[in-house]
Structure 1
Amino acid sequence: MAPIAITPEASPEREIYVKKSVQVRSHSSSFSSIKLNDGNVIPQVALGVYKAPNGQETEDAVTAALDAGYRHIDSAARYANEEACGRAIRRWLERTGTPRDEVFICSKLWDADHGFEATFNALCESLDKFGLDYLDLYLIHSPAEDEEKRLESWRALETAQRLGKVKSIGVSNFGASHIESLLENARVVPAVNQVEVHPFCQRQALVDLCNENGIRIEAYSPLARGNKLQDPTICAIAEKYGKTSAQVLLNWSASRGNVVLPKSLTAHRIQSNLESFDFKLSPEDVAAIDNLEENYVTGSMHKSHD
């Protein structure tokens, strides 16, 4: 698809979709889906493919995830594996006869492509790489330091949504100041904010701000990149429920209403992560996990102190 030159429409009174979030049971998988503020539905667990190669290993992982029951794949232009994800998804849909609208696919705008026209063209390029007519979710991967460019990118996403190239639009790594600026200028409230969240990095003030505005939290690095799997509190709780530490961490995050994005290329771990939601943590155990907060950040993408 060739780059498309397009100009933003005059911005009418912004539309705010702040609705009560509800959970609905997916008919095609074993875990809940969540209704977003725009009325679309997102599966609560995704296969993350950060740092996954653009080849057979990633194709196999995406296929294994879909076979296991995942219906949400989270990629990004920056990950440079949209082609591999797209090949796996298209082949799986054809093999199983599953309708396209039963698999939720997300990608993200990289920092180099901020600005209205550049953003729109980047989305079209991602669609070409996936081999798809539309994405279910498209995010601004990281807030540009230039606020004007950031808002131009958001207007491009609003336009793409109106044109049907993406169903839902959102942001990633946005702090409170970025969210507040966007809310003051946007026609459409972001459906999600994808940020690092786990028991050791809870970002409660930012989470509260998003919740107040109907913006769903997507928790990336929900396992703290594996660095906290030996934490004594988590290990003790895992033993109590006959679960792994990873399953406890994922359960905690999902129980807070977050969409969780565990990453794995290993079939048995992909399956194990999917088995994290068939038990309920007691209030006492939730409180013990809540008390683990230490602002432990594993990545460098979050560009704010909240």
Structure 2
Amino acid sequence: MTVLKMNTIKCVHLSSGVTMPLFGLGTFKIRGQDTVHQVLDAALAAGYRSFDTASVYRNEEDIGKSMQTLLPKYGLCRQEIFITSKLAPKDQGQGACREACLQSLSRLQCSYLDLFLIHWPGTHKLRPEDPHHKENRLGSWADMEQLHEEGKVKSIGVSNFLQHHLEELMKACSVKPAVLQIEFHPHLVQRDLLQWCQQHDVHFQAYSSLGTSNQDNKLLTDATVQDVANRVNRTPAQVLLRWAVQQGVGILPKSTNPNHIKENSDIFDFELGDQIMQELTTLSRDTHYCWDPSAVV
């Protein structure tokens, strides 16, 4: 995985041959046409060019509508932004995956997606130990390879897969996953998984880099994170995001606050020293603030 800089946007060159911004906007729980429009407007103004959504977020249609007016506002065309969406667990399996992707394209008013991910290694309503999970994952991937061949998706990948899920997929696929999107932050340093992805040229992209959005945010209020922020004269959020990108990890911070949206993108003009990086890494406590896929066979 090669990290390169295009103009002012730092990007990664994926194994699919596609160039993807290293940071983008996460849109989980951002709903309602007015809210979505305001958030995307602020993000585009701040220089964001990558936007991450999913079928289960229930905001694809609002994003699609907003982009129709916001891209001309900023003098941008579709090819200048990167849009990611994901396959819902209820739509796992060959045939269902294809139809779900086409529906996402319709809601987003796009002729193609830059990246399409299997959102979860399991299938909705199946028990975690059910062997049909594997069958459905591989069926979904067969559809995704076909969609990739047709140009409807430029890159394909997975979310919330662990190493055994990835190894199983690699043995069966014709097109390997270009991206793994997974929870990753100083309280959940998945070092072995990160190294596996680096060795196999699968870009490692983090979600929930800032923890949860509730008031009791144990990441942003972590004493070490706050101390580092004071030492480098940055916000705790900027420190957490810089810690990730300094390892070549993609990030998708979410916010509805225009000031925070701008602050979150302002992380490429400073570096954390080796000692600080180590201080943050040693905070790992194997804590998931979102979803833990380890039970899914």
**TM-score, normalised with respect to structure 2:** 0.92
Which among 247, 250, 255 is matched to residue 256 of structure 1?
247
Are the counterparts in 2 of residues 54 and 83 from structure 1 also a CA contact under 8 Å?
no
User: Which residue, 270, 273, 290 being the options, matches 1:299?
Assistant: 290
Residue aligned with 2:271, SS: coil
State yes or no: 1:176 paired with 2:163. yes
The aligned residue for residue 195 of structure 1 is 182
Query: Where do residues 38-53 of structure 1 align in structure 2 (5 Å cutoff)?
Result: 38-53=16-31
Residue pair 1:143, 1:303 contacting (<8 A) in 2 also = no
Partner-residue secondary structure (3-state), 1:69: coil
1:301 is displaced (CA, Å) by 5.0
Aligned residues of 1:142 and 1:301 also touching (Cα < 8 A) = no
Change (3 A) 1:247 1:176: same
| Structure 1 residue aligned with 2:117 | 139
5+ residue gaps in structure 1?
Answer: 1-20
Aligned to 1:74: 52
Separation of aligned partners in 1, 2:186 and 2:66: 33
Residue identity matched to 1:22:
T
Number of residue pairs matched by the alignment: 283
> Do the aligned partners of 1:219 and 1:258 also contact (CA within 8 Å) in 2?
yes
Secondary structure (helix, strand or coil) at the match of 1:116 reads coil
Give the aligned CA root-mean-square deviation in angstroms: 1.3
Establish whether residue 24 from structure 1 lines up as the match of residue 4 from structure 2.
Answer: yes
3-state SS of the aligned residue for 1:165? coil
- Contact 2:44/2:74, CA 8 A, preserved across alignment: no
Q: Do structure 1's residue 91 and structure 2's residue 69 form an aligned pair?
A: yes
Tell me how far apart the structure 2 counterparts of residues 209 and 236 of structure 1 sit (CA, whole Å). Answer: 31
Q: 1:85 and 1:287 mapped to 2: Cα distance?
A: 38
Distance in 1, Cα, partners of 2:14 & 2:43: 23
Residue in 1 that maps onto 2:99: 121
Q: Secondary structure at the match of 1:24?
A: strand
Structure 1 residues 116-146: Cα deviation after superposition (integer angstroms, max 9, x where no partner): 1110000000000001100100000001252
CA distance in structure 2 between the partners assigned to 1:223 and 1:95 by the alignment: 30
- What is the deviation of 1:224? 1.5
**Residue type of the alignment partner of 1:107:** S
For the residues of structure 1 that align with 2:218 and 2:80, how far apart are their CA atoms?
33
1:156 has 2:143 as partner: yes
1:211-231 residue CA offsets vs partner (Å, 9 max, x unmatched): 111111110000112431121
Tell me how far 1:89 sits from its aligned partner: 1.8
* Residue of structure 1 in register with 2:89 after alignment: 111
The percentage of aligned residue pairs carrying the same residue is: 35
Q: 1:304 to 1:222 in 2, by over 3 A?
A: farther
AA aligned to 1:49 is: T
Q: Give the partner amino acid of 1:26.
A: M
- The question of 1:212 aligning with 2:199 is answered yes
CA contact (8 A) 1:172 1:195 kept: yes
Q: Please give the TM-score of this superposition, normalised by the length of structure 1.
A: 0.90
Tell me if structure 1 keeps the 8 A contact 2:98–2:147. Answer: yes
- Give the letter aligned to residue 266 of structure 2: E
Identify the residue that residue 12 of structure 2 maps to in structure 1: 34
Q: Counterpart amino acid of 1:255? A: Q
Match of 1:234 among 225, 230, 234: 225
SS at match of 2:293: coil
Deviation at 1:180, TM superposition (A): 0.7
Task: Check conservation: 1:237, 1:248, Cα contact below 8 A.
Answer: yes
CA distance in structure 1 between the aligned counterparts of 2:60 and 2:218, rounded to whole angstroms: 27
SS of the residue 1:135 aligns to: coil
Q: How far is 1:304 from its partner? A: 4.8
Which segments of 5 or more consecutive residues in structure 2 lack a partner in the other structure?
Answer: 123-129
Q: Output the amino acid matched with 2:272.
A: L
